[in-house]
Structure 1
Amino acid sequence: MRTSRIRLFAATGAALAALALTACEDGTGTEDEGAGTGTSQPSASATTDTPSDSAKDPSKEDTTSNDPAQAGGGKNGGNKGAGGSGTGTGTGDKDDNAPENHVSCNGSNTTVDARPVPRPVNHMLITVKNSGSKTCDLTYYPVLRFDEMQWVPQPIEASKPQAVVTLAPGETAYAGVLLSAADGSGDGGDTAHKLTVAFQGRTPNSDGGPSAVPGLPADGVYYDSSMAVTYWQQSMADALTY
């Protein structure tokens, strides 16, 4: 009886072993232990997916910037934007030396001196200095008025220059005045104590701006009906030629 039990157990164990082997071979056996715990390694296909952002090649990253200064063209776009704010030093700058940008010389941007000269006799020299910051033009001839006289001395046409006299800041120009006839042929002589020098504009006899009132000698200046004035001259010698 004992021998029969031992054989029965042995036969039973062999049958169970054979059954387990068969289950493993046909895939119906127990589940892989690792799959149940969720710690299995990813499959080969999972490891070849697109790399994460931290693993990207920096050289292939999108370099588009949200900076308005670089919008629409990277560096070139940024430079263009910066240039838009630099118009104060570009072609918009005004050249004060260009003829079209000159201002008129007048009593507001010049200093004026008037004084008799010993030679030629009966002459006075008017000196105008540009005391402003811009180049100015002296057009035609000065319009003179002694005291309250009601007439205007005529210009000496022979003294008309070939070009408008232009004064840069600090420069001077001149006009000569024949006060009275040397032979005494003039009439209506008088002694003046005040002189007003008016300036002409771009067209003859137009208003060139504020007048000047230079001082005269204490004993005054004598003049008569023969008084005449030169056009504005660049040199003192030219102003005193007539």
Structure 2
Amino acid sequence: MRNLHFRRAARASVLGTAALIAALSLTACQSDSPAPAAYDAEAPAPQKPADGASAAPASDTGNGKETAGDTGTSGSGSESAKGSGSESAKQQRSSASLPTCTGENTKLTITAVQRPVNHMLLTVTNTGSKACNAFYHPVLRFGEAQSVPPVVEDSKPQAVVTVAPGQSAYAGVMTSSADGSGTGGYSTQDLTVGFLDAESKSAGDMVNVPLSKDVYVDSTLTVTYWQTEMDDALMY
């Protein structure tokens, strides 16, 4: 009888211990479990993008619509730059393909002017059917001169002067110094004019240009580059 009571007490003790261990295990599991669903709902779960959709962030176009982010160069800007460059290159090619102005497609005249003093205006007029390029400056030879006059470097234009059919270009000629400082002066009624090509070489034959009266020239004789405007030719 005594042994039976002892076995019952021991069994009760074992069951109590097991119950205690189970309670502790349950408490530990509850502390490691995720937070309740109501807490997680405050932060929406990330959505997986649809198949084929770009993951790039959307950008505001300014018109109320959104478009996928673009990390490249604006299409309109690149097209504008391309168009501008193409047009400039086309104009350069077009100018380069034009014939050189020579005595065969132009007419030359020279006239004295009141201002500046001791200056003359040389005019070249395109008599052809196509525009021509008047490169650099005219080559002058007054009378029996053994050399051609120097060019005024400050008169060099920014671009080659192109002369359309029926239109003219100009060059200023200072025949002698106003203060008499020039040397080796002489008078002549003979003038020949030559043209230069794109490589600054002689283009065509020298052209005789009639003078209405004797012209006095000395060592200060100079000529300008070809100009599109008459006033530009006479400012040197």
Residue number in structure 2 paired with 1:182: 178
- 1:25-79 Cα shifts (integer Å, max 9, x gaps): xxxxxxxxxxxxxxxxxxxxxxxxxxxxxxxxxxxxxxxxxxxxxxxxxxxxxxx
Mapping 1:116-127, distance limit 5 Å = 116-127=112-123
Q: How far does residue 135 in structure 1 lie from its aligned partner after superposition?
A: 1.0
Distance 1:149 1:106 in 2: 22
Q: How far does residue 211 in structure 1 lie from its aligned partner after superposition?
A: 2.4
Q: Match of 2:222, as an amino acid?
A: A
Residue number in structure 1 paired with 2:78: none
Residue number in structure 2 paired with 1:171: 167
Larger radius of gyration: 1
Give 5+ residue unaligned stretches, structure 1: 1-94
CA contact (8 A) 1:202 1:208 kept: no
2:109 pairs with 1:109: no
Distance 2:181 2:216 in 1: 14
Structure 2 residue aligned with 1:211, among 201, 206, 215?
A: 206
Residue number in structure 1 paired with 2:143: 147
**Secondary structure in structure 1 of the residue aligned to 2:231:** helix
Question: TM-score, normalised on structure 1?
Answer: 0.58
Q: How far does residue 207 in structure 1 lie from its aligned partner after superposition?
A: 1.4
Distance 1:171 1:212 in 2: 19
Residue number in structure 1 paired with 2:227: 233
Mapping 1:1-242, distance limit 5 Å = 98-204=94-200, 206-217=201-212, 219-242=213-236
**Secondary structure in structure 2 of the residue aligned to 1:208:** strand
Number of matched residues? Answer: 145
Identity of aligned residues (%): 51
Q: How far does residue 98 in structure 1 lie from its aligned partner after superposition?
A: 2.0
**Secondary structure in structure 1 of the residue aligned to 2:227:** coil
Q: Match of 1:221, as an amino acid?
A: V
Distance 1:119 1:156 in 2: 18
CA contact (8 A) 1:201 1:208 kept: yes
**Secondary structure in structure 2 of the residue aligned to 1:155:** coil
Q: Match of 1:177, as an amino acid?
A: V
Distance 1:142 1:201 in 2: 11
Q: How far does residue 201 in structure 1 lie from its aligned partner after superposition?
A: 0.9
Question: TM-score, normalised on structure 2?
Answer: 0.60
CA contact (8 A) 1:104 1:209 kept: no
